Amino acid sequence: MKISPDCIPCAFRQLKSLLDRATTSPKRRSDIYNEFVDVLYSGAPLPYSPPDYVRVMSQVLFRHCGTVDMYRKEKDASTALACALRGTLQEELSRQPDWFTAMVKFVIGGNILDYGIFDDLNLDTARKLMLEVFDLPLDKAKIEALRKALDKAESIFYILDNCGEAVFDAMLLERYREKTAIGVRGGPALNDVTRRELEASGLAEFPVYDTGDFTPGVNIATTSSLFLEKMRTADVVIAKGQGNLESMDDYDRPIFFLFRAKCPVVCNYLGGLPLNSLQILPRNL
């Protein structure tokens, strides 16, 4: 999915958010902004996916400020919050008539535990938001296709998205531990999971491969060869979150995109999905 003109305001909001975390120096902020604008408008117009632009922002920022994990505080807070919720939510899951359906809703709906969205997110609010996920619709036929694919597969490659929700990913993947490998970002990429957060998320025992770059998605041109080999040889790939969808929507092997449709541009791109809906998008099965 290539960036569209409607994505430009969001790109600059994201740049400001990163700048606010990176530096208070007016000159340095101006230098970073100007360099990013030069990159944005150089070459072919709008040549990248939205996650690629975040990678470019990060590269510019890191040149000026060093490689800093600017969302570390938010990532750790989201993970801690999800861990605090885990016991209560496991009890709720045990009461559901179909554990798998409820668990899939959790791993998609857990994307809401995002301190980038809620500055004042607390345990009570987070619990309420997660319990609401049970009542959200999710295509039953696609749930069954995912269930069958995971049960049948001899190898699964599961590409993580945000911190916090990764705690719920771990709860799902416990059932498939013996045949699952994990994919993460190679370095700081917004609030996405890197190797650093795996232990706190309950995923330290899984084989792990990282992309080798800072894209909050998977760019085939810049991702490490080991990651790509593992992805391409897996029987089925699960890719969490919009960033993975935006960067891999043309992937040509069996894949399930699991995401919350949080962006109007993405909703329109996929044929008019309801905003904030839970989605499973199977491809090449």
Q: What is the pLDDT of residues 126-145, one digit of tens each?
A: 888 888 999 999 999 999 99
- pLDDT tens digits for range 38-92: 877 775 555 688 898 889 888 899 999 988 899 998 899 899 999 999 998 899 8
Question: What are 208's strand-pairing partners?
Answer: 182
- Identity of the amino acid at 88: T
CB atoms < 10 A from the CB of 261, how many?
20
CA torsion through residues 99, 147, 129, 214, sign: positive
pLDDT at residue 11, rounded to an integer:
83
- pLDDT tens digits for range 111-122: 887 665 566 678
The model carries a pTM of 0.94
pLDDT at residue 119, rounded to an integer:
60
Query: What is the distance between the alpha carbons of residues 85 and 201, in angstroms, rounded to a whole number?
Result: 12
Give, in order, the Cα–Cα distances in Å from 276 to each of 168, 207, 267.
Answer: 19, 32, 9
How many Å separate Cα 7 from the centre of its chain? 18
Contact 129, 113 (CB under 8 A): yes
Q: What angle do CA 220, 222, 226 make, to 5 degrees?
A: 75
Query: What is the distance between the alpha carbons of residues 135 and 98, in angstroms, rounded to a whole number?
Result: 13
pLDDT at residue 280, rounded to an integer:
98
Query: What is the distance between the alpha carbons of residues 20 and 16, in angstroms, rounded to a whole number?
Result: 6
pLDDT at residue 121, rounded to an integer:
73
Query: What is the distance between the alpha carbons of residues 24 and 165, in angstroms, rounded to a whole number?
Result: 31
- pLDDT tens digits for range 161-191: 999 999 999 999 999 999 999 999 999 999 9
The secondary structure element, H or E, covering residue 112 is none
3-state secondary structure of 157: strand
Query: What is the distance between the alpha carbons of residues 177 and 207, in angstroms, rounded to a whole number?
Result: 10
Angle between helices 99-109 and 72-94 (to 10 degrees): 160
pLDDT at residue 117, rounded to an integer:
58
The secondary structure element, H or E, covering residue 235 is none
